[in-house]
Structures are given as C-alpha cells and as structure tokens.
Amino acid sequence: MASRYYMLLQLLLASPLQASEASGLPFVINTWGGVFTAATDAAYLALQDPATSALDAVEIGCATCEANQCDGSVGYGGSPDENCETTLDAMIMDGETMKSGAVAALRRVKNAIGVARHVLEYTSHTLLAGDLATQFAVQNGFTEEETSTEDSLGRCAEWKAASCQPNYRINVTPNATQTCGPYTPVPLNSTSPSYSSLIAPDAVTTSHDTISMIAIHSSGVMAAGTSTNGASHKIPGRVGDGPITGSGSYVDSEVGGCGATGDGDIMMRFLPCYQAVESLRGGLSPQEAADDAVRRMVTKYPAISSGIVVVNNKGEHAGAGSGWTFTYAFRGGSMNETTVVTVPPIDSIQSTLRYREQLQL
C-alpha cells in the first residue's frame, strides 16, 4: 500500500519546477534569499575546513542571521509580543544521531541557536523553554542581556496606540479585532448571536520569516537548524513551529533534510519537514516531497502562507510554497557565490482538488 501511495504521488503531484541537480559537497541550503544569503555564505565557507562539522556550519549560519537581525524576524530586536518583549525560538538537529536540541520563548539571550546547540550537546533533553532556558544559558556561559531595542519597543508602542491591532486573540470579549483588552474568554457553548462575530479566522495576522538551514559535510553527514523571533504581537509565551523537531526543520543523513517557514501555528499541526523527509525515504524526489508537504497543509488551510525547502543527501534540492512568493538560497561544491531560487505559490484551489482526487484513487 505504501509503495502504491508514493507511486501515485509521483504521477499526480509532479510540478513544473524540477529538483535542481546537485552542486557538489559540501553544501548549504536555507529558507529565504536577500539578507539571509550572508548566513548561507557563512555556513558554506565554514565547511571549507573539513574539521568543521555540519552541526558547526548550521550553528554558524543561523548565528550569523541572529547577529544580523535578518529581516527583523531572526534574532534580537524583532517581533515584539503583547508585552513588547522579543523572545527567541531555535533548534538544531544532528542527522547522524537524530538528536535535536531546542529552546522556545527564550528570554534575554541573543544567541538562541547557540543555546539550542548546548541543549543538544550537554543534556539528554530536547527542548527547554522560557526563563528556565535562560537560566540554563547563563549557567553555560551565555550573556543575559536585553533582546528588545528602541525600534522594537517603538513599533510595539505604535501597535498599542492602534488598539493592539492586529492581534491573535479569538473567542474573547470585547471583540479582539476592535479593542486592546483586557479580554475575557467567551463560554464556548455560548449560543449568543454575538458569539460568531467574535471568532477570528484561524490564520496569522502578521507576516514573519524564519531561517531554516540544512548543511551537508563533505563526508555526507547532515545537520539542520532553525532560528526565529516568531510572530509580531504574539501572546506572551507563544511558541511557533521553529523549535519543533519535524516542523521547523528535520534531517536524516541517510535520506535528506527539510527546512520550513510561514504560519507556524498552522504548520506545526502537519510536521511538514518530517513528512517531506519521509517522502524522500519513500522514493519521492525533493520537488515531489516539497509539493506534497505544502499540499497537505493547503488542503485544510487554503490561505496558509508556507515555504518548504527540501534537499536529499546528494545535494539535489527543491522548494514549494503557498500564499506568497517564497525564496531559498543554496551554495555547494565549488560555487563562487550563493544562488537564490524563487518559488511561486502553489494554486490552493487546484492543489486541493488534485490532492483529494489522488487520495481517492
């Protein structure tokens, strides 16, 4: 049954975009072009020294984006929450051992990917969160410092002046699309005519990006990692898909890896990167695996903004996305510079119809 399923996907989910040929090893690929390419270059150049591991390269690449505050959506000083604080999410995964380390809602420490690496290397845990993740970071030599900036605090003040719009509260009174709280939950069994008007769409209200990176060492060993400051105006304590193994990123050196970005609260419900890597294991190409992962989400949530980049252990890669024009960057072998690939969004209506039709076969 499983092999028949993958054969059907190969026939029915073929995309006009085909997986790019391998550029050679070492190889680095990550979500987004533009300012994110500095991270690609940093990781790739690090791998020119064979003593630098794939894990090292991923940490170096993501840390570069954190330090550069890539697009205001990675690192300190971006995406303030309702309390005007910037908190950070990150994870890193070893494609040999399948072990991952992650931090979520990390407070007052700028190098989130570094703390995630310490969780991987110095604990038998996978995920640490909040103030206690900060405590762990400080115990391991990281500096506790302010992660908000004058700019992020100013943007948060403007948001509050606009009655905290948009925000992520739903099923509350007063109506969260018109006011700035404080809010009281509406009883979920309410039959009041006003109840339906209080239910906001299950979708993100502010766009945001994530760097998700996969590196392949010249030996073939792979690693993956993700770093983000999450969604602007999020409810304090919110954790997106970035630090969730199998959602923000996933890697297995025997097969390949995946990185994701987009509407994290929705995407984590599908574990798209785990799905994509397992699709590679089942025989799909990187393009087919990426398309399949996105179509699974679009079928349930047609308006979702998503971006998936998939690479097999040979360095063949592809991307798919929905709701926006997604880009990814890669550099490998003897390439002199990073290349950026533009990925048009999948048609949500046609995608849903085709996907449902193939599942009925």
Whether residue 81 is annotated as binding a ligand: the answer is no
Which pLDDT does position 306 carry in this prediction? 97
What distance in Å separates the CA atoms of residue 209 and residue 31, rounded to the nearest whole number?
9
- Does the pLDDT value for residue 349 go beyond 70? no
Q: Percentage of the chain surpassing pLDDT 70?
A: 85
Residue type at 221 in one-letter notation: V
Please, which pLDDT band fits residue 22 given cuts at 50, 70 and 90?
confident
Residue ranges per structural domain of the chain: 30-145+205-359
What distance in Å separates the CA atoms of residue 293 and residue 288, rounded to the nearest whole number?
9
Which pLDDT does position 356 carry in this prediction? 59
Considering only residues 310 and 17, tell me which one the structure prediction assigns the higher pLDDT: 310
What distance in Å separates the CA atoms of residue 340 and residue 36, rounded to the nearest whole number?
10
- Does the pLDDT value for residue 28 go beyond 90? yes
Q: How many residues are given for the chain?
A: 361
Whether residue 238 is annotated as binding a ligand: the answer is yes
Please, which pLDDT band fits residue 8 given cuts at 50, 70 and 90?
very low
What is residue 239's DSSP assignment?
-
CB 297 within 8 A of CB 319: no
Which pLDDT does position 353 carry in this prediction? 60
Whether residue 263 is annotated as binding a ligand: the answer is yes
What is residue 96's DSSP assignment?
T
Lowest mean pLDDT among 25-29, 130-134, 142-146, 188-192: 188-192
The domain 30-145+205-359 is classified under which CATH number: 3.40.50.1220, 3.90.1170.40, 3.40.50.1370, 3.60.20.30? Answer: 3.60.20.30
Report the pLDDT averaged over residues 187-214. Answer: 59
CB 89 within 8 A of CB 243: yes
pLDDT tens track for 212-268: 999 999 999 999 999 999 999 999 999 999 999 999 999 999 999 999 999 999 999
Q: What is the reported pTM?
A: 0.89
Q: What is the helix (H) or strand (E) element at residue 42, kind and residue range?
A: helix 37-46
Residue 147 catalytic?
A: no
What distance in Å separates the CA atoms of residue 256 and residue 353, rounded to the nearest whole number?
29
- Does the pLDDT value for residue 35 go beyond 70? yes
Which pLDDT does position 208 carry in this prediction? 60
Whether residue 294 is annotated as binding a ligand: the answer is no
Whether residue 281 is annotated as binding a ligand: the answer is no
What distance in Å separates the CA atoms of residue 99 and residue 80, rounded to the nearest whole number?
30
**Residue with the two structure tokens 């898909």:** 241
Which pLDDT does position 224 carry in this prediction? 99
**∠ at Cα 96 (309, 73), nearest 5°?**
40
Lowest mean pLDDT among 27-31, 149-153, 189-193, 297-301: 189-193
Please, which pLDDT band fits residue 351 given cuts at 50, 70 and 90?
low
Neighbours of 283 (CB within 10 A): 14
What distance in Å separates the CA atoms of residue 321 and residue 329, rounded to the nearest whole number?
14
Buried b (16+ CB within 10 A) or exposed e, 160-182: eeeebeebbbeebeeebbebbee
Exactly one of 210, 299, 327, 338 is catalytic; name it.
210
Whether residue 241 is annotated as binding a ligand: the answer is yes
What average pLDDT is seen over the chain? 89
What distance in Å separates the CA atoms of residue 95 and residue 26, rounded to the nearest whole number?
15
